[in-house]
């Protein structure tokens, strides 16, 4: 899943305007991405929320531009607004990637059910403006907390009538988990398999990776470069722990990381 940010305040500094966004999305498809994930609202810590209308002004022209050039592209839309989700699906998107896990807009579950689209159900702990003030978690608390939250969110989805086969779960790296808590989650990712749903892992360029490698880096680098190798390592770890989808900024590097992980799983006799 290739990330195409349409936000001027993207945490990794890769936000795109409409023309550049369409070009980036086309390049992702041509570069081998199975899914292109368009996001028009930043969810970095302390970010300011958009209205659905503001979000759609950024997002829909890029969605339409991409599908006009690559009609068979599978597009996911990163939104927690039901109105944006509905308009995006009707414009050709096939998946809604809701970082709130159906919690921030009470109409989202019924919208996804009625539109019959795919759903990435992410676990989040509070909202972006709350993350810096959340109490710390012990390593042993992280995975049980995520499992409990995802079970509750799956129940909401099922009650709304969202088809089981339409759901992918995402533990939400960085979404209310700080620093080492994310490594505890990565180490325990395989436990999410007990939920019985495909798993998406979004670790690309996350701050906890930057914190881990900073002490061994010998020079100062731009964020994307500074977290490049750490992202590849984390993607291999996630794939070895059972992630089915990697949400990434760099498609080719992730494809190669996944190829190595898949070869290792095959060597170990692991089958999904």
The tokens for 27 are 């390049």
For residue 272 the two structure tokens come to 């999904």
- Asked if residue 202 lies in contact with residue 173, where contact means CB atoms within 8 angstroms, the answer is yes
Q: Which of 70, 247, 255, 271 is catalytic?
A: 247
Structure token digits, residue 119:
């759903």
Q: Report CA 194 to chain centroid distance, whole Å.
A: 20
* Cα–Cα nearest to 201, from 230, 169, 229: 169
- Is 177 catalytic? The answer is no
Which helix (H) or strand (E) is 144 found in, with range? helix 139-160
Q: Contact at 8 Å (CB) between 243 and 258?
A: no
Q: 109 Cβ partners below 8 Å, 6+ apart? A: 102, 156, 157, 159, 160, 162
Active-site residue flag, 206: yes
- On whether the CB atoms of residues 79 and 115 are closer than 8 A, the answer is no
Distance between CA atoms of residues 217 and 100, nearest Å = 34
DSSP state of 44: S
Q: Of these residues, 205, 206, 214, 227, which one is catalytic?
A: 206
Handedness of CA 166, 251, 259, 264 (dihedral sign): negative
Distance, in Å, from the CA atom of 126 to the CA atom of 213, rounded to the nearest integer, reads 27
Beta carbons within 10 angstroms of residue 131's beta carbon = 19
Among 200, 197, 126, 195, CA closest to 170: 200
Q: Which residues are catalytic?
A: 206, 247
């Amino acid at each position: 899943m290739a990330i195409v940010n349409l936000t001027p305040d993207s945490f990794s500094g890769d936000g795109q305007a409409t023309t550049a966004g369409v070009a980036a999305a086309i390049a992702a498809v041509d570069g081998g991405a199975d899914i292109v994930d368009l996001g028009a609202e930043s969810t970095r810590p302390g970010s300011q929320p958009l209205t659905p209308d503001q979000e759609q002004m950024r997002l829909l022209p890029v969605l339409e531009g991409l599908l006009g050039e690559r009609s068979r592209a599978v597009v996911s839309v990163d939104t927690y607004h039901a109105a944006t989700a509905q308009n995006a699906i009707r414009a050709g998107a096939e998946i809604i990637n809701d970082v709130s896990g159906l919690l921030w807009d009470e109409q989202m579950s019924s919208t996804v059910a009625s539109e019959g689209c795919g759903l990435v159900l992410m676990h989040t702990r509070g909202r972006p403006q709350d993350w810096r003030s959340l109490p710390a978690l012990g390593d042993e608390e992280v995975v049980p907390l995520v499992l409990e939250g995802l079970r509750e969110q799956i129940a909401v989805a099922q009650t709304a009538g969202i088809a089981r086969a339409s759901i992918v779960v995402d533990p939400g790296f960085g979404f209310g988990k700080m620093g080492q808590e994310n490594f505890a989650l990565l180490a325990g990712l395989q436990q999410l398999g007990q939920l019985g749903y495909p798993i998406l892992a979004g670790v690309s360029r996350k701050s906890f990776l930057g914190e881990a490698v900073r002490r061994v880096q010998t020079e100062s680098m731009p964020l994307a470069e500074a977290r490049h190798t750490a992202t590849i390592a984390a993607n291999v770890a996630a794939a070895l722990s059972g992630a089915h989808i990697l949400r990434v900024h760099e498609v080719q590097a992730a494809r190669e990381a996944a190829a190595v992980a898949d070869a290792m799983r095959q060597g170990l006799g692991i089958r999904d």
